[in-house]
Chain A
């Protein structure tokens, strides 16, 4: 019953927060209006969201986000130095990373994380979704880069979204 009237609680929560930020006033009236919008919009757009998002360990997601934010800062300094140094210091390469993630959301988050962090951009996902092609700006050892991405970002995402139960 609850599932019928509130199909996507996470989406509802996100919409309430976005509404409060958008009107930029945190009053009870706006919160009620936001709750109403957050309730009615998922009902009307139900057909766009066939799967229910399942986060097995929400707190690990918070840790993961903090780690990624820190990595974004470090990666930005590295990339800025590379750009200022010029082309002599770059050694671009394509690195294929074999994927173990299966859910679409987890793969998207991994691709976005890889694009934002360590001097790499996710370039291409193979049609069978088993290989993510990554372009690195300065690659010395392609295997080490693939290992780092798998250990640092893919394993936490597997724990969060696809726990081995």
Chain B
């Protein structure tokens, strides 16, 4: 009985400490992502940032929840302390993510001045726009 009570208290503590940080993490992750439309099958499931040699290193995990291959276009925006863009527009990069695959996008900031970033994502096959119009015209491809 004593052990169960302790376990309960520990669980409560974990909830109290863990849940806010988890939701904060989710919030901060969402604030770094810019999706052109909503991706139905591809989800960003993890986002890590670390500074090495003065440059931001970013790793984003994109999970394909469907069993068929999905295509993804992505690029980064690099911002300075004041929120200004400090780098030219990056080229869109195409990736194929296999069914059920967790794909890692790893990238390094182009300059030490980059202190913040946005990951811009577009998946051509499953984007649905709120207006209900076809998404095929918004592909970053020619």
Partners in one complex: no
